[in-house]
A and B are shown apart, each in its own frame.
Chain A
């Protein structure tokens, strides 16, 4: 409700984060001093070519991966100071996820999958809450189906329902529409947008699809492990797929 009114606080502060991987003989620098602040109640898209470090940034931002240097503060909590167990608990309380695919556990029904993080956290949330969350993504009637009985888009929407159920501060999505066709992808984006507009949550999406980015409030561009450019809808810049695509080719060429 108060999405725009309270949009002054930072839900996420990433400060000069570095991350290196060693694969085989050669080392890869995935993040090279990336910094990014995300205001609460906004929809941010991270774009960039493959290998620019956008997924790694997302993983570091929400505690799925640990950076080698720099700091990540989510909703006032510095992730660097958390142990493995605390980090896990932080994730399930404060962060929601939607992956590109393989989001759901096959053994569980849609409603059970939705409830899973709450149950792991021993929150007092029941079937009714999960059904409500599923209703918001239009899947109440599919609540008792198992993942293989759902389409790819429906599975992504269940993942969104799961991500918002515990009312986390940040919801992250890594190519949420990457495996979907256009119409289904749009539906999924509508629901993500609604998470921001009606629930005032903060959403962070990694994508390389400019049309996805047009639904965001702000688009940041990455290259070689750093944030190199950004467009903010509220700064009055041109915010359509074409100009975003144009801006994206900039860093790619450089």
Chain B
């Protein structure tokens, strides 16, 4: 009850901690809801299938992340499907023929760019999904197609359907609410590259487990079979559309929210205790035991924690919709995302919020309980000025951790280096924050000048170092985060800009007009007619050697002699191939073959990802489903070519500009991260600075009054406060900036080997965006000074005698 009355009374002074915690919990809850709801789902196209079978894993793609699976040849798949279809309770077994497709209406591209799986399939796949036919019917002849409603066509319209190697004028026979373009099965079979999935629909009463076992028996142990029962596994296998980057951003936001909340709540409450010493002493004098005082302070924190967490959770639920929507728009989240899971993430966030409040106040409550009753009788109790041991310990430990992380930064790959670099700055920040009462008086003591006011400044920092220390922290926090995050972004951007421009032959490239990826063979052929010299094109495909995936490229033109494959030295070594060997392999479509290999160093733009190069036509023969990813050339007449290519949905673009755009996209993502983090930390800083300084000013009203009584002008007092706040903010900003530098320099070392290895270690410089940093610094300086001046100006409005007479 006492805790309750105290909180109510001190509403203003706990406000900073309250707002920080509310925001922290809101961010945490929103991030957690988005993450929890972003768990994979079975895309609608497979929702009706109770069993899904896929060939076993064969390795990963060149991103080291996406799983590459084996493939069934069409003949193999037909045998399997026939056998499955004979099983009890099976109504449909479908070998899916999936391929990349583009639908054109003359020169106009229909439909939106779709991430994830290719969206062309045979009509037979329709039964696997929950997708509904909105109008018309399935294709009845070879020249009919079923389109998603998003393509904006109606039944009876004519369209051109483009696959990698073919083009068909077709009539729309039906419209669905799904995402797939459905072709007649014979055409789909010829357009797809083998079979990558068999879907089984069972009768309503069929036991999913037994259907699963049935399918498992047929496809064999090398393949993976998922049923309704294993919804989770099924979901993660069939939803590839969730963006990893988005999850990282969310985790980062959540972690930062917790870190900053603990930081701000901790400082607020600790500072509270020092402001309230007399009150606590009085409580002790009238009979409160140290335990009761501690419990009361914890109780206060709990009241603040509960209310803030609940308000934060409510805001978080609302925020998750906004955050999710924004992330979908930014391409950071699957289109299928929606708020699905609320209770668990919100519950966890509320608990974390409460724990944060209690953790933040734990140290403060100890300190509060140690207040001696006699301090109630003295205007300024004689305080223990020795440095508590824990400060030394925490400083040493956090500092050591920071150094370890700096070393780790120099050793890690790009992602690790970024994460460790940020963590090292945060560790050093904790060390600097905890040790602040130790060094701050000495720093302030260096202040030159002999005016009475500067002497007062120095004396005050000496006698009560904790107060300026707590006003130092927000500036320290914002500067560390700003310099680290912006510095990392710019350093990385500079490095990418300078070192990751591949050597792409030719002045121009083909790009899809709608921003998607993929070029048809027709487009390549027409380009060849209009190019000055050769057209270099890449078809991203793969082969299997001894059952494992080999990332391959289909190359044009004569880089690879007809009928041979070009292996990089690393690939040759991996499989023990020598120049001129003829090797056995399985093509992308599941058929077996033999080919002669020559071993040769790959050009840099290929070496980044491809292990084996095939002639384009050979690659296309065994992988008809995949669009070509790149075509580069010197154009004769770029405009004429663009016109000629319009019905293929592509146009010509300058190579330099494309590279700039590509780098800009990559850097843009970095900046998005940096901006988010920075906005968050600036907001927190404003709150916490305003809070600490207004508390500190009201705690010093008596000092201010005495200054006025002893003859200081109002303007002099305000000047003193401005100088103090400005000085301390400046120290914090400078210190924070210097804490970030070790991590940034370590990053440049860590990134050295992340670029083209043949050019040797890359020379990378630390780049700092001075204009942005200047703006951040100026903003936090301004916040600091205003937060000190506004409450002081209010206090000083009264006459000196009224101020002195005023009770504390």
- Residue of A23, A59, A97 contacting most chain B CB atoms (<10 Å): A97
Number of A-B residue pairs, CB cutoff 8 Å, is 73
Q: Identify the stretch in A85-93, A194-202, A223-231 within 8 Å (CB) of chain B at 4 or more residues.
A: A85-93
B279–A91 contact, CB under 8 A?
Answer: no
Interface residues of B in 589-611 (CB under 8 A from A): none
For the complex formed, measure the closest distance between the CB of A200 and the CB atoms of chain B, giving whole angstroms. 22
List B contacts of A119 (CB < 8 A): 1-2
B286–A84 contact, CB under 8 A?
Answer: no
Q: Identify the stretch in A41-49, A105-113, A240-248 within 8 Å (CB) of chain B at 4 or more residues.
A: A105-113
**Which A-chain residue is minimally distant from B377 (CB atoms)?**
A99
For the complex formed, measure the closest distance between the CB of B458 and the CB atoms of chain A, giving whole angstroms. 19
For the complex formed, measure the closest distance between the CB of A65 and the CB atoms of chain B, giving whole angstroms. 6
B286–A89 contact, CB under 8 A?
Answer: no
Q: Which of A23, A91, A102 is B807 in contact with, Cβ under 8 Å?
A: A102
Interface residues of B in 90-107 (CB under 8 A from A): none
A102–B9 contact, CB under 8 A?
Answer: no
Q: Which of B6, B278, B286, B808 is A92 in contact with, Cβ under 8 Å?
A: B286
When A64-B373, A120-B292, A174-B377 are in contact, do A106 and B9 touch as well, CB less than 8 Å? yes
For the complex formed, measure the closest distance between the CB of A203 and the CB atoms of chain B, giving whole angstroms. 17
A196 to B89, CA, bound (A): 98
B287–A105 contact, CB under 8 A?
Answer: no
Is A215 engaged at the interface, CB distance under 8 Å to the other chain? Answer: no
A85–B5 contact, CB under 8 A?
Answer: no
Is B376 engaged at the interface, CB distance under 8 Å to the other chain? Answer: yes
When A106-B279, A108-B5 are in contact, do A85 and B287 touch as well, CB less than 8 Å? no
**Which A-chain residue is minimally distant from B287 (CB atoms)?**
A92
A112 to B3, CA, bound (A): 12
B287–A102 contact, CB under 8 A?
Answer: no
- Number of A interface residues, CB 8 Å? 32
Is B285 engaged at the interface, CB distance under 8 Å to the other chain? Answer: yes
A216 to B423, CA, bound (A): 69
Is A16 engaged at the interface, CB distance under 8 Å to the other chain? Answer: no
List A contacts of B382 (CB < 8 A): 23
For the complex formed, measure the closest distance between the CB of A170 and the CB atoms of chain B, giving whole angstroms. 14
Is B291 engaged at the interface, CB distance under 8 Å to the other chain? Answer: yes
A102–B290 contact, CB under 8 A?
Answer: no
List B contacts of A104 (CB < 8 A): 282
Is A121 engaged at the interface, CB distance under 8 Å to the other chain? Answer: yes
Interface residues of A in 65-117 (CB under 8 A from B): 65, 84-85, 88-89, 91-93, 97, 99, 101-108, 112, 116-117
A92 to B5, CA, bound (A): 21
B286–A64 contact, CB under 8 A?
Answer: no
A117–B286 contact, CB under 8 A?
Answer: yes
Q: Which of A102, A116, A162 is B808 in contact with, Cβ under 8 Å?
A: A102
Is B708 engaged at the interface, CB distance under 8 Å to the other chain? Answer: no
List B contacts of A103 (CB < 8 A): 282
- Residue of A23, A55, A107, A117 contacting most chain B CB atoms (<10 Å): A107
Cβ proximity bits B357-398 to A, threshold 8 Å, 1 near / 0 not:
000000000000000011011000010000000000000000
Interface residues of A in 4-24 (CB under 8 A from B): 23
Is A238 engaged at the interface, CB distance under 8 Å to the other chain? Answer: no
A119 to B289, CA, bound (A): 12
A55 to B373, CA, bound (A): 14
A88–B289 contact, CB under 8 A?
Answer: yes
B287–A59 contact, CB under 8 A?
Answer: no
Cβ proximity bits B1-42 to A, threshold 8 Å, 1 near / 0 not:
110011011100000000000000000000000000000000
**Which B-chain residue is minimally distant from A159 (CB atoms)?**
B286
Is A127 engaged at the interface, CB distance under 8 Å to the other chain? Answer: no
B376–A102 contact, CB under 8 A?
Answer: yes
**Which B-chain residue is minimally distant from A99 (CB atoms)?**
B377
Interface residues of A in 147-166 (CB under 8 A from B): 147-148, 162
Q: Which of B278, B287, B292, B377 is A91 in contact with, Cβ under 8 Å?
A: B287
Is B283 engaged at the interface, CB distance under 8 Å to the other chain? Answer: yes
List B contacts of A116 (CB < 8 A): 2, 283, 286
Q: Which of A99, A101, A117 is B287 in contact with, Cβ under 8 Å?
A: A117
B287–A107 contact, CB under 8 A?
Answer: no
Is B588 engaged at the interface, CB distance under 8 Å to the other chain? Answer: no
For the complex formed, measure the closest distance between the CB of A174 and the CB atoms of chain B, giving whole angstroms. 7
**Which B-chain residue is minimally distant from A121 (CB atoms)?**
B287
**Which B-chain residue is minimally distant from A96 (CB atoms)?**
B286
When A99-B376, A102-B807, A119-B2 are in contact, do A107 and B288 touch as well, CB less than 8 Å? no
B287–A89 contact, CB under 8 A?
Answer: yes
A101 to B282, CA, bound (A): 11
Is B622 engaged at the interface, CB distance under 8 Å to the other chain? Answer: no
**Which B-chain residue is minimally distant from A174 (CB atoms)?**
B377
Q: Which of A65, A102, A106, A108 is B374 in contact with, Cβ under 8 Å?
A: A65
Interface residues of A in 186-209 (CB under 8 A from B): none
Cβ proximity bits B288-302 to A, threshold 8 Å, 1 near / 0 not:
111110000000000
A143 to B808, CA, bound (A): 21
A103 to B286, CA, bound (A): 10
B374–A64 contact, CB under 8 A?
Answer: yes
When A88-B284, A106-B9, A112-B5 are in contact, do A148 and B290 touch as well, CB less than 8 Å? no
List B contacts of A117 (CB < 8 A): 286-287
A91 to B376, CA, bound (A): 15
List B contacts of A55 (CB < 8 A): 377
B291–A85 contact, CB under 8 A?
Answer: yes
List A contacts of B292 (CB < 8 A): 120
List A contacts of B1 (CB < 8 A): 119
Q: Which of B8, B284, B291 is A107 in contact with, Cβ under 8 Å?
A: B8
List B contacts of A64 (CB < 8 A): 285, 373-374
A84 to B372, CA, bound (A): 10
B290–A105 contact, CB under 8 A?
Answer: no
B285–A97 contact, CB under 8 A?
Answer: yes
For the complex formed, measure the closest distance between the CB of B381 and the CB atoms of chain A, giving whole angstroms. 12
A117 to B288, CA, bound (A): 7
When A99-B376, A107-B6 are in contact, do A89 and B282 touch as well, CB less than 8 Å? no
List A contacts of B6 (CB < 8 A): 107
B10–A107 contact, CB under 8 A?
Answer: yes
A88–B374 contact, CB under 8 A?
Answer: no
A55 to B287, CA, bound (A): 19
**Which B-chain residue is minimally distant from A100 (CB atoms)?**
B377
A92 to B1, CA, bound (A): 19
**Which B-chain residue is minimally distant from A148 (CB atoms)?**
B807
When A64-B374, A99-B377 are in contact, do A105 and B291 touch as well, CB less than 8 Å? no
A107–B289 contact, CB under 8 A?
Answer: no
A105–B282 contact, CB under 8 A?
Answer: yes
A120–B285 contact, CB under 8 A?
Answer: no
**Which B-chain residue is minimally distant from A84 (CB atoms)?**
B290
A59 to B1, CA, bound (A): 29
List B contacts of A121 (CB < 8 A): 287
For the complex formed, measure the closest distance between the CB of B288 and the CB atoms of chain A, giving whole angstroms. 5
Q: Which of A59, A84, A108 is B2 in contact with, Cβ under 8 Å?
A: A108
**Which A-chain residue is minimally distant from B8 (CB atoms)?**
A107
A148 to B807, CA, bound (A): 8
A88 to B382, CA, bound (A): 21
For the complex formed, measure the closest distance between the CB of B3 and the CB atoms of chain A, giving whole angstroms. 10
A162–B2 contact, CB under 8 A?
Answer: no
A105–B289 contact, CB under 8 A?
Answer: no
**Which A-chain residue is minimally distant from B7 (CB atoms)?**
A107
> Known pairs A89-B287, A106-B9, A117-B286. 5 more at Cβ < 8 A?
A55-B377, A85-B291, A88-B287, A107-B5, A107-B279
Which residues of A does B touch, CB under 8 Å? 23, 55, 59, 64-65, 84-85, 88-89, 91-93, 97, 99, 101-108, 112, 116-117, 119-121, 147-148, 162, 174
Which residues of B does A touch, CB under 8 Å? 1-2, 5-6, 8-10, 278-279, 282-292, 373-374, 376-377, 382, 807-808
- Which 8 residue pairs of A and B lie closest in terms of their CB atoms, listed nearest first? A92-B287, A107-B9, A117-B287, A88-B289, A117-B286, A107-B6, A120-B287, A107-B5
13 contacts between A and B (CB under 8 A): A55-B377, A59-B377, A91-B285, A102-B376, A102-B808, A103-B282, A107-B8, A112-B5, A116-B2, A117-B286, A120-B286, A120-B289, A121-B287
